[in-house]
Structures are given as structure tokens and as C-alpha cells.
């Protein structure tokens, strides 16, 4: 009898319709399309309407992921929403998703680890499935960051966007199609680097250079830990789906690992940094366009406020 493990059975994503371009930002703050593109790789981002909530985006992404996995809401045992921008402190956003989907048997909770939230939710769901507590879990990264931004602060308002990505994690008995290993961590002594003291009451604040330095050091480190522990070399990994924070972070990580940049998918130019949603949105785009082939080795890697970081090795 093979050991129980978990696999990604379906993906989905949802983005607000409204596009905010760099050119439009030039009219709000002292910036330029050229500066933003050169320093971040971002051309435009999606912005949720006033009445469009994190749960609305999460529900739309979740419906697509369920359909893609050929499952019904009734099959779902847990719903975990990774977000630092929930609709409200209480009820949690996962319960709002449950009600909309009629996922009546699901246990629902939110998880906040900023831009590492999706990775932490994935690891939590993997542990539930491996322990026999669940067969199918809906994991959603969903953010409404635009409502937390100071639109007079050019150092932050140009970077972020809104959106949601979802995966269904299902039980698997084959390590050929499975989540193979995780490497996660946190450093609360550096909590001041990225802060939002109260959603809808304060603004997101960030020491951009500190986050940048942390990311380009920590991400290669955890990728090497994961690959070495699994007797793989970085070249044997087909795709690296990194949190989409800045194109220069992707370039720098690829360079430090001596890997070609085309192993690092990116949609930063269209969506900016969507925090916990960025990895599942990108994964859905690649899954939908049939770029992910069975048995390919994939590494997901998130990093962000907390500080927090996490990577997952997958055999697709």
C-alpha cells in the first residue's frame, strides 16, 4: 500500500476587470511609466471596485478550481483562504466562500502570512490530507490590497494589485503526481519591515530595499535546501513559480542559482504584486495553457511580511 500524499487536482483564478496603468499612476503621484517598468517590471495592475470584496474574487476563483478538478462543493472537507486583506475580521472569508458555494461539509478558516500565505495554506492542507483528516481541500489566495494603499505614497502604491487564485488539493497515492516536500520559516524579529496595523484603518508600509535584500538571499537558500534534500540539482526543476513581487527579484534569484530566466514564469507586467494570490494565479495561467506536463518537477516559492517564507517541491 502506497503512502497517502496530496496532489493539485485543479486550479482557478479571478481578477477584477478594472485596469490601472502606469500612465494613469503618473497623474496620481510623482512617478513615470519608465521608472516603474525599469525598477519593477510592472506595466499595469487590476483594481477591485469599491463594492468588490476579497471574498467575491475568492468565490470566483474557487468555482473555476472546483470545475477544473471535476469536483462539486459537497466534496470539499476544508476551505482555507490565505489573505491579509479579509472582508472582515469576523466572519472569516473562508466561511463567506463556503456559503456562496454551498460547501456544507467544509471546515473553514483564514490564514495570514502575507505573501507567503498561499505556501503556508498549501502546507497546512497537505498535512491534513496526509494525516487522513481530509480528501479534498480548497485553498485560495485572495487579496484586495488596493484598499490598504496610500495612493499618495509612490514607494508602495505602484507595486500592488488585486486578484485571487485557487487550487483544489486532493488525496493521491502516487508520488509521481504529488506535493513532495516543503521548506518554510518565519522571522518575527523583522516584523517592522512590512506592516499594516489595521485593515481599512491604516496604510500598508514597507521598507522596499530590506524586503528586496531578504528575498534575493532567502529564496535561493530555501530552493537549494529543498533540491539537495530531494537529491535534485536546480537544473532538474522544470519551473520555478515565485511570488511575483518584482521582476528584478526573479532575475536575481535565477542568476544566483545559475539558471535561465525562462524557468521563472512571470505575469508581473499585467497584475503587479497580488501577495497571497500571485502564485496560484500564475499556476492557473500555466495549467490552463497546458504548459505543465505530467511528472514535471516544479518549485513554488513565497516570501513576504512577517517576515515569512516558504517553498514547495511538486511532481506535477
Site residues, ligand ACO (CB under 6 A): 31, 35-36, 39-40, 114-115, 154-155, 158, 194, 206, 208-209, 211-212, 245-246, 273, 275, 304-305
For ligand ACO, the closer of residues 35 and 286 by Cβ is 35
287 flagged as catalytic: no
Cell of 306: 512577517
For ligand ACO, the closer of residues 109 and 212 by Cβ is 212
For ligand ACO, the closer of residues 156 and 170 by Cβ is 156
For ligand ACO, the closer of residues 30 and 262 by Cβ is 30
115 flagged as catalytic: yes
Nearest CA to 62 among 73, 51, 48, 74?
A: 73
Cell of 74: 459537497
Strands 19-21 and 44-46, by their bridges, are antiparallel
Across the strands, what pairs with 313? 181, 299
Question: Could you tell me the sign of the dihedral formed by the alpha carbons of 82, 174, 184, 282, in that order?
Answer: negative
CB of 311 to ligand ACO, least distance (A): 15
CB of 101 to ligand ACO, least distance (A): 27
**Catalytic residue among 115, 126, 136, 312, which?**
115
For ligand ACO, the closer of residues 163 and 304 by Cβ is 304
CB of 114 to ligand ACO, least distance (A): 4
**Catalytic residue among 92, 273, 287, 312, which?**
273
For ligand ACO, the closer of residues 115 and 138 by Cβ is 115
CB of 154 to ligand ACO, least distance (A): 4
Cell of 81: 483562504
CB of 269 to ligand ACO, least distance (A): 14
CB of 305 to ligand ACO, least distance (A): 4
Nearest CA to 73 among 171, 179, 168, 172?
A: 168
* Rounded CA separation 118/110 (Å): 11
**Catalytic residue among 126, 136, 177, 243, which?**
243
Nearest CA to 273 among 242, 310, 252, 238?
A: 242
User: What residues are annotated to the active site?
Assistant: 115, 243, 273
Amino acid at each position: 500500500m502506497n503512502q497517502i500524499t496530496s496532489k493539485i487536482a485543479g486550479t482557478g483564478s479571478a481578477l477584477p476587470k478594472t485596469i490601472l496603468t502606469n500612465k494613469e499612476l503618473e497623474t496620481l503621484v510623482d512617478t513615470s511609466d519608465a521608472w516603474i517598468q525599469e525598477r519593477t517590471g510592472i506595466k499595469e495592475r487590476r483594481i477591485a471596485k469599491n463594492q468588490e470584496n476579497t471574498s467575491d474574487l475568492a468565490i470566483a476563483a474557487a468555482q473555476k478550481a472546483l470545475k477544473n478538478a471535476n469536483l462539486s462543493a459537497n466534496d470539499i472537507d476544508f476551505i482555507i483562504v490565505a489573505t491579509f486583506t479579509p472582508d472582515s475580521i469576523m466572519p472569516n472569508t473562508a466561511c463567506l466562500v463556503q456559503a456562496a458555494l454551498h460547501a456544507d461539509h467544509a471546515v473553514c478558516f483564514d490564514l495570514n502570512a502575507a505573501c507567503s500565505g498561499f505556501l503556508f495554506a498549501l502546507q497546512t492542507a497537505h498535512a491534513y490530507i496526509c494525516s487522513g483528516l481530509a480528501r479534498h481541500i480548497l485553498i485560495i489566495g485572495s487579496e484586495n490590497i488596493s484598499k490598504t494603499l496610500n495612493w499618495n505614497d509612490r514607494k508602495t502604491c505602484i507595486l500592488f494589485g488585486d486578484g485571487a487564485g485557487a487550487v483544489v488539493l486532493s488525496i493521491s497515492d502516487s508520488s509521481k503526481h504529488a506535493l513532495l516536500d516543503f521548506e518554510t520559516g518565519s522571522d518575527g524579529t523583522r516584523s517592522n519591515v512590512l506592516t499594516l496595523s489595521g485593515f481599512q484603518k491604516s496604510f500598508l508600509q514597507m521598507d522596499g530595499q530590506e524586503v528586496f535584500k531578504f528575498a534575493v538571499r532567502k529564496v535561493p537558500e530555501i530552493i537549494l535546501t529543498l533540491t539537495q534534500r530531494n537529491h535534485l540539482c536546480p537544473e532538474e526543476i522544470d519551473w520555478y513559480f515565485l511570488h511575483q513581487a518584482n521582476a528584478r527579484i526573479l532575475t536575481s534569484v535565477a542568476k544566483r542559482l545559475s539558471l535561465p530566466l525562462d524557468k521563472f514564469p512571470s505575469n508581473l507586467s499585467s497584475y503587479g504584486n497580488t501577495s497571497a494570490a500571485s502564485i496560484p494565479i500564475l499556476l492557473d495561467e500555466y495549467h490552463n495553457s497546458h504548459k505543465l506536463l505530467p511528472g514535471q518537477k516544479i518549485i513554488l516559492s513565497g516570501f513576504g511580511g512577517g517576515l515569512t517564507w516558504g517553498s514547495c517541491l511538486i511532481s506535477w
